[in-house]
Amino acid sequence: MQNTTKRSRVHIYIKKHNVRLYILIDETLVRQLRRYEILEEGIFSSHIRSPTSYSLCMELNENPHDDLNNFSKLPAWHKINEHSIKEYQDKLCAPLDILIQEAQTNDIDINLFYHNLVNTLINTAKETIPCNMYNPHTKPYWNADVKQAHTKERNMRRVWMQDGRPRGMQHESYFNYKRAKRDFRNIQKLANEQIYRRNVYDDINNAAECDIRLFWKLIKRQKPKHSKVCQQIIHNNIVHEITESICNPFANYFEDLYTPADTSTFDDPTLNEMNKAYREIQRVCKADEDLYLPGGIITCDDVSSVIKQLKRRKACGNDMIQNEHLIYGGPKVSECLSIFLNIVVEKQQVPSDWQKGLVVPLFKGGDKSKLSPDSYRPVCLLSSVLKLFEKIVLIPSTNICRITRDVS
């Protein structure tokens, strides 16, 4: 894989101390550094104590957008039982108590606190909840006979390799390996066609008589599936074929698309209505100095009630926190989140992870070209904790807007 690179000539200072050279550069450059080369060396003598200027040529990796691993292991929340839920909640108590005590200090770092909270939830779930990983090569017809034939074929192949990989049916190891491979393929084909397919067709016939919804669902499963992975993108007359480099044209196109222009206009009635509702929210917030938000300080009951309304088996954001991490966390998670969200409101600062999202381009379909970014619709996956915070804030704000609309 070849990354797009850029050359940058910078001036650095090298200090000689105990026959060591210290190069001071920005931390962000260290993360992107691919290689460097000293172009011009200054004259350094033992009686000169001041630093000397050097010229350095660096090659940096210019790929700010990453393609995440879609096959990463996630907790299999649909496989849990009461014992695993209790174990998950019990192991969360001690580390969350430590975080709650740290939250009592005034000089708390919001980013560090949220980072520790996320790591606590993820690591505890890994210890107590079984993992689940997407397998793109699932073979539903695989049974004991197919497995036995496959094991025999692999054993015969090992014997043939140990024999020096001879070619020709006159060699016994080669003959046994080819026969075992042929038998495995025949048994595999038989299991797929006569056993698995027959069961599928029986289910379709039964569903056609009693459940028409299930019938069409089973029919759609038999349609050939096409890969949803974008193999190539053309942007600004440049062809991008590598998965990592495809992220950049998508990001640049969506950034230009959603950047507001100077000549943008708004619907005046809608804008006036929004400003009126916003001024009402400001008036309610300023009515009492102790109120952080409309409705007052966020309580543990507020967080618990919203957590109960969260949907399961939804996609997670950049922090890899799922709704199930919060749903099955118990009262201790609600208590810790209520304290943290009040600190966010008080400091008027949000964690940096809330400002990041996973952008998934979805093909619009039709006759559109799959090579153009214009044929894709972006969907941004945000943090589950951020969505929880929005729901909590939205409840009293919606009531105020509704009252304002009724009065008007």
Reported as a single tens digit per residue, the pLDDT across 63-111 is: 555 555 555 678 889 888 999 999 999 999 999 999 999 888 768 889 9
Amino acid at 107: D
Q: Which of 42, 64, 59, 62 is nearest to 51 (CA)?
A: 42
Helix %, strand %, coil % of the chain (to 5): 50, 15, 35
Reported as a single tens digit per residue, the pLDDT across 246-292 is 777 888 888 887 776 655 566 778 778 888 887 877 776 665 555 55
Q: How far apart are the first and last CA of the chain?
A: 62
Q: Is 35 helix (H, G, I), strand (E, B) or coil?
A: strand
Alpha helices in 167-226 (DSSP H): 172-190, 197-210, 212-221
User: What per-residue confidence (pLDDT) applies to 181?
Assistant: 95
361, 378 contact by CB (below 8 A): yes
Whether the Cβ atoms of residue 143 and residue 195 lie closer than 8 Å to each other: yes
pLDDT recorded at residue 18? 41
- 163: DSSP letter: T
Beta bridge partners of 132: 74
pLDDT at 396: 63
Residues of the chain scoring pLDDT < 70: 1-72, 106, 133-137, 224-230, 242-244, 260-266, 284-295, 396-408
Give the number of C-alpha atoms closer than 13 A to the C-alpha of residue 239, restricted to the C-beta side: 3
**Residue 363 belongs to what H/E stretch?**
strand 358-363
Q: Determine the Cα–Cα distance for residues 30 and 264; give it in Å rounded to an integer.
A: 40
Confidence at residue 12, expressed as pLDDT on a 0 to 100 scale: 41
Q: What is the distance between the alpha carbons of residues 111 and 319, in angstroms, rounded to a whole number?
A: 12
**Torsions phi, psi for 211 (to 5 deg):** -140, 100
SS3 31: helix
Give the Å distances, CA to CA, from 207 to 64, 98, 202, 248: 50, 54, 9, 46
* Distance separating alpha carbons of residues 207 and 215, to the nearest angstrom: 5
pTM, to two decimals: 0.62
Are 139 and 376 contacting, i.e. CB atoms less than 8 angstroms apart?
no
Two structure tokens written together for 356? 């990041």
| Cα 207-191-150 angle, rounded to 5 deg | 145
